[in-house]
Amino acid sequence: MMGSALFLLLFLASLIPVSISVTITNPDSYALLSFKSSSDPSNSLSSWSPSSNPCTESWLGVTCRKNRVTRLVLENLSLNGPIQPLLQLDELRLLSLKNNNITSPLPLDLSPLTNIKLLFLSHNHLSGPFPSGLRHLLRLRRLDLSQNRLSGHIPPDLTQLPHLVTLRLDRNSFTGTLFDFPLTLEDFNVSGNSLVGEIPKSLSVFPSSSFAGNENLCGKPLQSRCSNGVAKSDPMPVLVSAGRGRRMSGKTIVAIVFADVAAMGLVVGVLFYCCCWRRRRIGGDEEEREKEKEMKRGFERRRCGEEELVFFEGCEGFERVEDLLRASAEMLGKGSVGTTYKAVVMAEEGGGGGGGGGEKVVVVKRVRERRKKVVEGKKEVDGLMREIGRQRHENVVALRAYYFSKDEILLVYDFMPNGSLHSMLHGNRGPGRTPLDWSTRLKLAAGAARGLAFLHHACESKRAHGHLTSSNILVDQEGNACISDFALDQLVHPSPPLSSSSPNKAYKAPELVDNTTSTSSKASQKSDVYSFGIVLLEILTGKMAGEDEGEGMDLVKWVRSNAAQEDSMLEVFDLELLGYKEMEVEMVALLQVALLCLNHMPRERPKMSVVYKMIEDIRARGGGGVLHSPSPNDLSSNSSPCLSEDTPTFASL
């Protein structure tokens, strides 16, 4: 008996270290296995073995960082149990359970997921009230609870989430009213519920499809007007009778209204005159003065006869117009705006704001034709150049100086010989070419999106790039994509016509081009988004924009045709990317972003800031599952980093 007892003790002792090892090595194993046991009757998660480590073995849908599960994607697997076990995964950044039969038998409390950024639970069987604990999810950016059985009121806690950009609650049974949301919200849908009341102003910017199916919602963008917060189908105004049972005549009403308007106009006019007189007495509007100072900051003029060479921040190496005009030049290419040269300037000792002697290599773009008369054009050009020259960002090519004369405009940039995105994608496709790998392509896409988003945000006048192509995305010495030639198409009056064979026509949004004239509308930031979508297709397919793919299909039509068929979707990707099988999910995700940008309707295209965030999300998923959260500095013109003066930032066309 003593021997048997000792053997039993030794046997139990041998089991204890195994249990402790699993717990210590994988703190998330128990939660995952508990979810599997209650939700996976069809054994779709057969790779989840109790004897293996989810962070070192190939568990389906699991991504880890530092031995903790940070990303869990289990979509279309017929899972049909409760979600509660997964709430123990407190290091999750991404949880996607779309298109399953997941349930929540108790009121769902999401507060344990304090690190969650992306939460996709659409097309499931979640029921009961809206999940609680949202005030603890301060990092949440995207929440999709659509196509479930949730009911009750939408909580006001959602309005307190500082980073929320996506909120999809459509096709549930929510009731009550809507709240004002912060301006960060970019994707919103509550259609197919039972909401009531007036749509808040902050949400009225979304299309009517975001609110469809709520019969008692009213206000913009819906057609139904609001009367005391209730939808009213009859939009016609009703005249109210005045007095005791007697209706006022039409002439009387018109006279009263006219007298009131005249009196109000007189009062407003007197007040306006007094305010203007007082402002002139105290020396003018201080705000306008500060604005003028800001516009003059960072550049200086140097005259050459009647013409001027204007220097912006960071221009070194020469200080006279003659230095620029006499420089030896090599033509790099011709574009729709002008001809681009590589110029070698012989700088004098101490010239150019402290620069030493020797040679200075710059890029000069010459604009000579199709400008307005000098008398009309000088002020316009000066204002445009000031606005462009103030922009400094690591993903934007800096304008260093410009020269204005009767015959031409010269624009001066830094030179760097690494070339453009166009040359990296399409140059030397024959033997001996070094393929452009997937991670580099994705990095360049993100950098270009960031630069364009910054320019859209920084320009107070809401200027558009106007002619974004892969040739206007340049690569610096550190491999960062930089946007060049921003808004330079505005120097050309009128814009040059686009022939049917012009490669630039392929980048133009549908609203800018028709079959009979060169352009039918003005370039906008939304048309820039379309052009960027074409650039993404070039990155993914390796094909040039405007290439005919057979049967009269251009690149966009060809990609859409293949993407619509699941068995041929992967055929659109560049042959150089065939070796990156593990990255196919990322490639498909970037293709979806491109197709969003290429939406035929401008209002349906996302903003560039949203495009940049989506691309960063794709990069983050491939880098261990930790999603990138762009800092406010990414899109701030005041706090964006200035480019180092001794680091080249411009690559030639």
State CA 312 to chain mean position distance: 29
More confident residue, 477 or 266: 477
CA pair distance 34, 324, nearest whole angstrom: 73
CA pair distance 529, 522, nearest whole angstrom: 14
Exposed / middle / buried, residue 161 (Cβ in 10 Å: 0-12, 13-18, 19+): buried
Percent of the chain with pLDDT over 70: 68
The candidate with the shortest Cα–Cα distance to 367, out of 505, 508, 484, 493, is 493
- pLDDT tier for residue 16 given thresholds of 50, 70 and 90: very low
The candidate with the shortest Cα–Cα distance to 54, out of 67, 39, 42, 43, is 67
Mean pLDDT (whole number) for 331-340: 78
Check pLDDT > 50 for residue 48.
Answer: yes
Mean pLDDT (whole number) for 391-397: 88
- Locate 564 and state its tokens: 């619509």
CA distances from 466 to 487, 490, 495 (A): 6, 8, 10
Which range in 103-107, 131-135, 426-430 is most confidently predicted, on average pLDDT? 131-135
| AA identity, residue 79 | L
Q: Torsion angle of alpha carbons 207, 210, 212, 214, nearest 10°?
A: -130
Check pLDDT > 60 for residue 595.
Answer: yes
CA pair distance 327, 324, nearest whole angstrom: 5
- pLDDT tier for residue 282 given thresholds of 50, 70 and 90: very low
More confident residue, 21 or 593: 593
Mean pLDDT (whole number) for 172-193: 87
CA distances from 187 to 170, 517, 586 (A): 12, 35, 21
Dihedral sign for Cα 456, 457, 458, 460, please: positive
CA pair distance 193, 215, nearest whole angstrom: 9
- pLDDT tier for residue 408 given thresholds of 50, 70 and 90: confident
Q: Torsion angle of alpha carbons 147, 150, 152, 158, nearest 10°?
A: -70
Residues 313 and 325: beta-carbon distance below 8 Å: no
CA distances from 258 to 264, 265, 267 (A): 10, 10, 14
pLDDT at 315: 57
Residues 100 and 79: beta-carbon distance below 8 Å: yes
Indicate the range of 162-166, 477-481, 631-635 predicted with least confidence: 631-635
pLDDT at 488: 84
pLDDT at 374: 42
More confident residue, 589 or 254: 589
Check pLDDT > 70 for residue 497.
Answer: no
Contacts by 350-359, CB closer than 8 A, 24 or more apart: 351/317, 351/318, 351/319, 351/320, 351/323, 352/315, 352/316, 352/317, 352/318, 352/319, 353/311, 353/315, 353/316, 353/319, 354/316, 355/316, 355/317, 355/318
pLDDT at 373: 45
More confident residue, 455 or 491: 455
Check pLDDT > 70 for residue 192.
Answer: yes
pLDDT at 308: 65
Check pLDDT > 50 for residue 362.
Answer: yes
pLDDT at 576: 87
- pLDDT tier for residue 438 given thresholds of 50, 70 and 90: very high
Check pLDDT > 80 for residue 359.
Answer: no
The candidate with the shortest Cα–Cα distance to 48, out of 40, 96, 201, 155, is 40
Contacts by 629-637, CB closer than 8 A, 24 or more apart: 629/117, 629/139, 629/141, 629/163, 630/450, 634/450, 634/453, 634/454, 635/453, 635/454, 635/457, 635/458, 635/609, 636/457, 636/458, 637/390, 637/391, 637/454, 637/457, 637/458
pLDDT at 267: 61
Check pLDDT > 80 for residue 506.
Answer: yes
Mean pLDDT (whole number) for 325-335: 73
Beta bridge partners of 399: 413
Indicate the range of 27-31, 314-318, 457-461 predicted with least confidence: 314-318
CA pair distance 617, 608, nearest whole angstrom: 14
- Locate 150 and state its tokens: 């949730």
More confident residue, 510 or 366: 510
CA pair distance 304, 578, nearest whole angstrom: 57
* pLDDT tens, residue by residue, 78-106: 999 899 999 999 999 999 999 999 998 77
Buried b (16+ CB within 10 A) or exposed e, 67-95: ebbbbbbbeebebbbbbbbbbbbebbbbb
The candidate with the shortest Cα–Cα distance to 136, out of 119, 160, 155, 154, is 160
pLDDT at 318: 55
Residues 140 and 165: beta-carbon distance below 8 Å: no
| AA identity, residue 525 | Q
SS3 per residue for 418-466: CCEHHHHHHCCCCCCCCCCCHHHHHHHHHHHHHHHHHHHHHCCCCCCCC
* Number of residues written out for the chain: 653
pLDDT at 148: 94
| Strand 307-312 versus strand 328-334 pairing type | unpaired
Indicate the range of 117-121, 298-302, 588-592 predicted with least confidence: 298-302
Which helix (H) or strand (E) element contains residue 413?
A: strand 409-414
Q: How many CA atoms lie within 13 A of 75 on its CB side?
A: 11
CA pair distance 603, 607, nearest whole angstrom: 9
pLDDT at 245: 40
pLDDT, the chain, mean: 75
CA pair distance 303, 444, nearest whole angstrom: 40
- pLDDT tier for residue 375 given thresholds of 50, 70 and 90: very low
Indicate the range of 130-134, 282-286, 317-321 predicted with least confidence: 282-286
Which range in 277-281, 317-321, 532-536 is most confidently predicted, on average pLDDT? 532-536
pLDDT at 413: 84
The candidate with the shortest Cα–Cα distance to 164, out of 150, 180, 181, is 181
Buried b (16+ CB within 10 A) or exposed e, 369-388: eebeeeeebbeebeebbbbb
* pLDDT tens, residue by residue, 552-562: 568 899 899 88
Check pLDDT > 80 for residue 17.
Answer: no
Residues 54 and 32: beta-carbon distance below 8 Å: yes
CA pair distance 567, 532, nearest whole angstrom: 26
Percent of the chain with pLDDT over 90: 33
* pLDDT tens, residue by residue, 55-84: 888 898 898 888 899 989 998 899 998 999
Mean pLDDT (whole number) for 388-394: 85
- pLDDT tier for residue 223 given thresholds of 50, 70 and 90: confident
State CA 32 to chain mean position distance: 34
pLDDT at 356: 45
* pLDDT tens, residue by residue, 232-278: 544 433 333 333 344 455 556 656 656 666 667 666 665 666 555 55
CA distances from 315 to 38, 101, 275 (A): 67, 62, 44
Check pLDDT > 50 for residue 285.
Answer: no
